[in-house]
Amino acid sequence: MTGASAILRVGENDAMSRRKTRPRTSPAPAVTAASPCPCGLDAAYGACCGRFHSGTGGAAPTAELLMRSRYSAFVVRDEAYLLRTWAPGTRPGEVEFDPGTRWAGLEIEGTTEGTAFHSHGTVTFTARYVHGGEAGSLHERSRFARHEGAWVYVDGDFLD
Ligand SMILES: [Zn+2]
């Protein structure tokens, strides 16, 4: 994908944020530090993605962990975290959460690069959700890059 198309697609190529339904009164799901982490790793939220959301764990060290923490940020509706882990060139002005969507699980299917030794990486995943009583899934290959030393989300391609 070219830089120009990446810019044109800002705000519409990220399915997790593309819904424009105005948030109403539905609260974010109750996730505490002791809850199982929404990202699916066998760890409590506070010791897993929560430490990145709060900043106490520093920045996610790999693209996969950033991907997981961004999924968890959609679950707990942490807009500030999503924005600060978004590449400046593709970052939207805001992230709107659809109160009718409940994220139901994340599976990481593959990664390329994205470790401490790399400056770019991809993560292929399926995120499951329930919207209006209907189960659905989002299958995407996301691109990540380092920005000022920390992994950020750049953009992604939907797969089938
Ligand atoms: Zn996690």
pTM of the model: 0.83
At residue 105, what is the residue type? G
Confidence of residue 17 (pLDDT cuts 50, 70, 90): low
Res 18 pLDDT > 60:
no
147 falls within a domain: yes
Is 65 a domain residue? yes
How many Å lie between the centroid of ligand 1 and the Cα of residue 2? 32
Residue 88 belongs to domain with CATH number: 3.10.450.50
In a domain, 27, yes or no: no
Higher local confidence (pLDDT), 1 or 17: 17
Q: Which domain, by its residues, includes 117? A: 3-21+33-158
Distance 68 CA to ligand 1 centre (A): 6
**pLDDT, tens only, 87-126:** 999 999 999 999 899 999 999 999 999 999 999 999 999 9
Q: Is residue 146 a part of any domain in this protein?
A: yes
Q: Give the distance (Å) from ligand 1 centre to CA of residue 71.
A: 8
> Considering the domain boundaries, does residue 26 fall inside one?
no
Q: Cβ–Cβ contacts within 10 Å for residue 46, how many?
A: 18
Q: Are 24 and 99 in contact (CB under 8 A)?
A: yes
* CA of 5 relative to ligand 1 center, distance in Å: 31
DSSP label at residue 86: B
| Domain assignment of residue 28, yes or no | no
- Total structural domains within the chain: 1
Q: Average per-residue pLDDT in the chain?
A: 88
Query: Rounded to the nearest whole angstrom, what is the distance from the C-alpha of residue 52 to the centroid of ligand 1?
Result: 9
